[in-house]
Structure 1
């Protein structure tokens, strides 16, 4: 006998539903039949016994049927009647005398079981319908009225839209580590020969949009084993003990389908460090985490269940969750480098009809710091722009326009500004651009525009030559000078009294950078190589944990003095550059007023007094810009951008 013979036949869900509905219909039929006799009896006219005797005497009674005390029959006009007779011995004689056709039959006694059925049928129907409704509600795990403790993990089936490792690009190291798990599931003997054991868990760590969930979907597509997916927030409820019950139920389901993979997205929702709350710590989240720890690696081992989790906050996870035996390996999913961005772009460009001039490497070179989600959005925006223009192919011009839109924000062509405000914006952005061209250590100038984008009235955009993973003190000081180029240019042209609120974001960037140089990076000789504040991202119960709260007043004063010194040095450098090259500032501002958007090379030709080479009419038409808006550039720009001035009160 093989295993197939031992398998119970699966119940067809359609057949089960059909049987339930047939039972309900049969019950309703019985319910109708119960009242059918009473309805027919009620259809006959009820008359008094004296009237019945009077009709006999009148000769209008045609037929009579006697059953106990009940007398029924029909009149001469074929109308039915019904009455109840007392014990009248003269009734039979009177009927004979008048020649009425009559018959007698014994009084019917209903079956006791039929009476019980009739009386209990309404309650049976109510209970059956309620049971059916509750079963329907509990089909989705945990969604029924009695299913609070049921797991909400869903088994992923990819009949359509299946994702494999071929769809994952730019994160080769992470893919290789997870490929090993898939290979182990397909051929465990390959590793078991050397005494290797399958990892119990893998934690995917990376910034938002780097492809952690995509990797998990690729594992599901490659492994060919049951794949359960759930979010960390699905465990936690307001009722104490529900989360722990859901964890137990999830692992029970996984044991029945082992070997299998369980993917927990955003595990920091349930796996935060214990002991951070108030009271005795027996809150719902910590009980759920305790149960998860026991199920992953407790007294009873769960063989064949691999846990894969994803988070962008590994710093807040409980240490017991991160130890080997639970999460044996932490897979870092970084932002892709230029080669990785090329591969990611090529994956997403397969679905888009491209013009011959499109170069994935050129686009990748101009998008440092982009994640996989950012690049997917860039390709989609380019396709939407081409469709909006009625094109059949997506050209490089659409990708450039989409890149500007993603990194700097959409153009706000509906705004209206006066010529004086446009001129102030041009000098502000020209100041930033001129400082970036003359101060060593600044990133190369990529583009400068006075067209409002996003929340900024103008943007100066610098891009590094290559991917950057750290910054030197020279580069940071150059960026401090770059921050003040716009404000000092306005001051030199319009004077101290005409300064506006447009440089608020520049000042904020400079202050934050200088404070980080002093308190985190050890770039102050006076304060030395010490860290004066902890990670400000670690927040518990809404309060930042910072060591600076406990530093002495003298140290805090020294920090403020060093921050001010660095800021003033950057301001001095920017002022010197703009004062020495005031003529170039005027030329660049005039070119911006004419063309509104200049590339880095065009800016260099403009300050040299050369023709920038636009003889094809591609210059932007003069924008009608208005009042209102903010000078805060979008924070997604990887190398930082600098916004133009905003009007007073913005």
Structure 2
């Protein structure tokens, strides 16, 4: 049978499910055994006639009505004078034969069956044979799942990636140019090794790709394989770990043996932190299986037996937990950081994915890139896909900017709460709360421009004011920090001014949290307090627990701790006072924006600026639709908000 005759399920025949075929074979074997036993044990069952008691048989003999008998160990069968057949069970009767001879009965004897002992043994061994057959079948299936042969547990699970379909090159990788350039050197070496060996240079044995989830680490590795045109083995770090000690180390050895046969080649280990964690760092005893696997990996990468032509590329988003021996030169020589893309990188990524989607002429990729800070490449790909799905549901032939805006809201902020019913008082409170954020942001020049404001519930908030930075910010100035403190307090201040101190709501809980974190970072990490000076009182920790980053407070006195709390309070109060001054001086602007939110539910940044300038909104005017964002709620969850200067979500309103 050639390769073309094989079925998609790998059976090699029509409809050949391997599991069903094995089960059918064992059923046939058991049926054959049962038939064999039946045939061997059949002589006694082939006798015909009515069964009569032995006393009745003797009476028939004495009456002279028995014509002939056949005597065996199991039974006595015979024929009456009338031709009727009968049979009976014999007993130890020494007078039977003389009586039969006296009455003239023809006597025949049937020899004992020699195979009766084996038949009994077969009958008794049937349950055992059935159990052994099922056990053998189960073990065989386990071996197929874990590897071929009896020693399949120790075989490598690395898969060779072919380039026949889905070939990826560096042209498909956008937004991470620096990381791509570092890895192009590896491609050059694989294409022409003598170019580097001529001057005595050695290519790095391994490259560690480090970055947040979704930044394109696996895509980069596939692009290297696609550009170099060499065998590419891929495996996950968890594939090495088993419950049996020594299995992971055996799989590492087998993986490198396979790679040596295909050298030069690339071995890509995804999520290497599953097997490469720091040895002895756990609580209690270490994991012997994982540590043995790591030891074998260290030896194979840089031991006495050099593996020439094998380049190891690994990916992780937890470099802080890796063992130092794994990161030293000679193993992972090069550490390539794959960062979140900046605005230009996001623009390039969007353009790559938009080539696969028919987009309308009104789509502005740069505007989408500006409104998606903090998004990784996978997030942007999902955004384009969501927009295409939304356009398809609406029966559109092209994906317009409206669908991209709605898709961005869904990806970043969550699904709109269509089933939530708000009272008029709650709607009015929310409108003034968001209007407070918007008016303070407009009147503080250091703040980022407003993109939109909405009072439609989406995700985890009843409303939201979303900003759109002109560019990505990598450092923040003091004036912007104070502007953000004032903006984030604008919602609570607006509630107090309009509804009174006793009627404020809990809607400012997220604002208070953001303001506190920003003020704490300004005091304890950035030296923004004149009273405490430029000293580090707290520092951010690399590891996270349950999704929250940890901070470590240095050893400080009680007086210093009280001073820190006092300075944090002073900064937050300063933002509150600034927001109160802005809204008190521009109370008419607050009313105009709030009333417009109650009427339209969603306002764009340009519309808010026109309201503050004293102009009216006319959405029916020609050209107004081009600047209007579709009515949709915007509420940014914690996990995907644009990052602020202290690593937490940027103040956006609640």
Matched, 1:225 2:231: yes
Q: State the distance in 1 between where 2:480 and 2:17 align.
A: 73
Measure how far apart 1:402 and its partner are.
Answer: 1.7
Asked if 1:491 corresponds to 2:496, the answer is yes
Residue 455 of structure 1, CA deviation: 1.8
Distance 2:226 2:64 in 1: 92
How many Å separate the matches in 1 of 2:103 and 2:156? Answer: 84
Query: For residues 580 and 512 of structure 1, do their structure 2 counterparts lie closer, same or farther at Cα, with a shift above 3 Å needed?
Result: same
Deviation at 1:362, TM superposition (A): 3.2
Identify the match of residue 168 of structure 2 among 160, 164, 182.
Answer: 164
Query: Once the 2 structures are TM-superposed, how far is the Cα of residue 541 of structure 1 from its aligned partner?
Result: 12
1:570 & 1:496 partners in 2: Cα distance?
18
Distance 1:576 1:439 in 2: 11
SS in 2 for 1:293: helix
In structure 1, what is the equivalent of residue 35 of structure 2? 32
2:414 and 2:74 map into 1 onto residues whose CA distance is 95
Q: Which residue of 2 aligns with 1:42?
A: 45
Say yes or no: does 1:459 pair with 2:464.
yes
Partner of 1:643: 653
Paired residues of 1:455 and 1:634 also in contact (CA < 8 A): no
Asked if structure 2 preserves the Cα contact closer than 8 Å seen for 1:71 and 1:85, the reply is no
Return the offset for 1:319.
Answer: 1.8
C-alpha separation between the residues in 2 aligned to 1:235 and 1:485? Answer: 54
Aligned positions of 1:562-581 closer than 5 A: 562-581=567-586
> How many angstroms apart in 1 are the aligned matches of 2:602 and 2:480?
26
* Whole-angstrom CA distance in 2 between matches of 1:471 and 1:143: 59
2:411 maps to 1:401: no
Distance 1:137 1:299, change over 3 A: same
1:591 equivalenced with 2:596 (yes/no): yes
Q: For 1:327-338, what aligned pairs fall within 5 Å after superposition?
A: 327-338=332-343
Contact conserved, 1:170 with 1:337, CA < 8 A, in 2? yes
Match of 1:551 in 2: 556
Report Cα offsets for 1:238-290 as digits up to 9, x if no partner.
Answer: x5x63x53243243244134345443333334433344434465666555544
1:249 maps to which of 245, 248, 251: 251
Q: 1-side partners of 2:356 and 2:612: how far apart?
A: 43
Q: Give the corresponding residue for 1:153.
A: 157
- Secondary structure, counterpart of 1:307 in structure 2: strand
Displacement of 1:127 in angstroms is: 2.4
Question: After superposition, what is the alpha-carbon deviation per residue over 1:307-327, rounded to whole angstroms, capped at 9, x for unaligned?
Answer: 332222222322222112221
Kept in 2: contact 1:56–1:95 (CA 8 A): no
TM-score under structure 1 length normalisation = 0.81
Q: Report the Cα distance in structure 2 between the residues aligned to 1:339 and 1:358, rounded to whole angstroms.
A: 17
Root-mean-square deviation (CA, aligned residues, Å) is: 4.3
Deviation at 1:482, TM superposition (A): 1.5
- Verify the 8 A CA contact 1:205 1:212 in the aligned structure 2: yes
Q: CA–CA distance in 2 between the matches of 1:493 and 1:23? A: 82
SS of the aligned residue for 1:538 comes to strand
- Answering whether residue 484 of structure 2 is matched by residue 479 of structure 1, we say yes
Q: Give yes or no for contact 1:605–1:611 (8 Å, CA) kept in 2.
A: yes
1:444 paired with 2:446, answer no
TM-fit CA distance, 1:468: 2.2
Q: Give, in angstroms, the shift of residue 48 of structure 1.
A: 6.2
Deviates more, 1:551-560 or 1:286-295: 286-295
Match of 1:3 in 2: none
Residue in structure 1 matching 2:607, options 566, 577, 602: 602
Shift of 1:210: 1.1
The answer to which of 630-639 and 411-420 deviates more is: 630-639
More moved, 461-470 vs 404-413: 404-413
Q: For residues 566-608 of structure 1, what are the alpha-carbon distances to aligned partners after superposition, in whole Å with 9 as ceiling and x for unaligned?
A: 3233333333322332332232223223322221111111111
